[in-house]
Each structure stands twice: as structure tokens, then as C-alpha cells.
Amino acid sequence: MFAKKKFKLRPARSAVAGFTAAGLFFVCFVADAQRAGGERPSRFMDRIDAEEGAAKLTAFRGQRLAGDFYFEFQLEHKPRRARTVRYNGKMWGTWKEQGPLSRIAMDPNPVHGNTAPQATQPVELIIQSGPVPAAWIRRSGGEGFEPIEGAALFQPILAGLLYSPFDLQMPFVYWERFQYEGPALAMGSRVAQQFLMLPPEESASAQWGISGVRIGLDDTYDALLTIEVMDSEMVASSRVAVESVRKVQSQYIVKRMTLTDYPSKDRTTFNVTAAAVGLSLQRDLFAPDANVEAEVYIPGSPEKL
């Protein structure tokens, strides 16, 4: 666990990365554009009151796809002063009473770039999001999953990348304290209602030096469009922005989003390359003590995007 002191955000590391995609990419990034009654018109740049703001956050937290899902994705890391490096990964997702639940398998060997191979086995994570988040990791296929706790939640999953278990959990989605900041533009012409989510005083996030996380929710669909993490001086250290969505089997998912790390000016794009939704996955897939191999749950023909 943490020592009784405050930690400062590292200037060269974003506190929330593109998986958030996972977490970069849980239900928080799902927009169902086929709601009953059709699309309600946006009130361009209108402010909302406190009651409507609370209702919008509640609706956002309850977003989910119909059924379980499987994604294949690529991370394209674009350092400001080095060559682009790409990594492939897979994600399985479901929902339980406690909140979104996912399993992620990252190939540690890049498919593009001059980085030397790191390992033969994928790095795997099981991430429980929701009001009481949890995380587990294993770095070798023959070993069991181990819990991730304390400061380890903020450590990179792969050397050279920004992503951490915290990024996948996205605990800020469920923080009770928030400040409504008003509307702003996102994705070019979409209106996003902005909320500054404030961490509990004794939380791991607060102890790590995160003073708040600004999120932008689509004014029409209550889907997450932007994320900004604020450092201990209340200065934005990173920004994630959704760039495109795609329709897969009558449901809408985020196709592409980019993280920009402000201190380093490095960028990472999360791009879904294939997807299957409306699945029914076995619960053992998400149990860290079940020793189930994820590869047996790859759908036969995910839709290429």
C-alpha cells in the first residue's frame, strides 16, 4: 500500500492512457445511436442545471452493449522524437453487478519499429471497473494471475508505453464528487458537457497526485468523448479524445481514439481492427483463479473494421 504521503504525477507519463480505451474502452466508450425515439436534437452549447448534470452522469455510468464483446486492436505509439511503434492486442468484455469487467491480452513484441522482442507470452490483465475496482496481471502463460495493488496500479503495463492498470479501471467515472464546468466542442462538431471528477481524499488516485479528471460527455448520447487528467497543480497532463465510432451488428462502438501526453507531446492511438458484439462469454474467462486460457474464446469471424 501507499506510504502516508502525497505522490506527484510523473511529468513524462499520462495518468490516463488510451486503452481507456479499455478501461480505454469499457462501456464508458459505447454510444448507442439507436435509442427509442431516434436522436434527440443537441442544444448547441447550452448549459445544463445541477439536476440534469447528475442525471447525465448516472446515464453515462449505466451505458453498456447488449451482450458481451470481443475486440482486436492495435496501439500505435508515436513518440515526438522517435519512430512509431505498433502493438497488437485482444480484449474480451462483459458486465456484472459490480460494473464492467474485461480481460486484455497484449503482445509485448511490436509489429512495427526497431524495438527488440521482449517475451514470447502475452501480458494479460483482468480488470474490474465500477465503484470498487480491482485488477490482476500475469506476464507468463504458465503462471497464475496476481493482484495489482497500491503504487503498482500506476506502473506501465509494457516498457515504453504509458498504459497502467489505473488507465483501464477508470475509477474516476464513479467518483461521487464532481463539478459541472459547461459545454465544449469535441470530435469537431459534437457538443460535450464537461464535468471535473474529484478523487476521494484518501484514494490511491489522490495519493498519487491526481487532483481531478475532466470528462466530456456527448450532449445527445451521454457517451464519453474526452478525458483530461489534472496533476497536483490542477494542470492538465494528458488528453484522450474519441476520433471515430463504427456500427457493428446494429450497435455502435468507439473505433479510434488518441491520447496526447502534454509534457512529452507523445501520442498513442487506439484503433479497433475487428469486433464481435452480442456474445455470451463464459464467466471463468474473467476469474483470475480459474486458469482459463483466453484464446479459446476468440469468435470465429469477428467483423473487420
Sign (positive/negative) of CA torsion 265, 26, 128, 61? positive
Of 171, 245, 254, residue with least CA distance to 215: 171
Lowest mean pLDDT among 35-49, 63-77, 179-193, 278-292: 35-49
**Which residue shows C-alpha cell 497543480?**
233
pLDDT value at 117 more than 60 = no
DSSP 65-85: -SSEEEEEEEEEEE-TTS--E
**pLDDT value at position 188?**
79
pLDDT digits (tens, 9 = 90+) for 66-81: 899 999 999 888 888 8
Share above pLDDT 70 across residues of the chain, in percent, rounded to a whole number: 80
133 CB burial (10 A radius; 0-12, 13-18, 19+): buried
**pLDDT value at position 50?**
85
- Name the band, by pLDDT with cuts 50, 70 and 90, for residue 112: low
197 CB burial (10 A radius; 0-12, 13-18, 19+): buried
- Name the band, by pLDDT with cuts 50, 70 and 90, for residue 25: very low
**pLDDT value at position 143?**
78
CATH for 21-35+43-286 (2.50.20.10, 3.20.20.70, 3.40.50.2000, 3.40.50.2020): 2.50.20.10
Of 180, 181, 192, 188, residue with least CA distance to 44: 192
Distance CA 260, CA 241 (A): 9
Lowest mean pLDDT among 22-31, 215-224, 237-246: 22-31
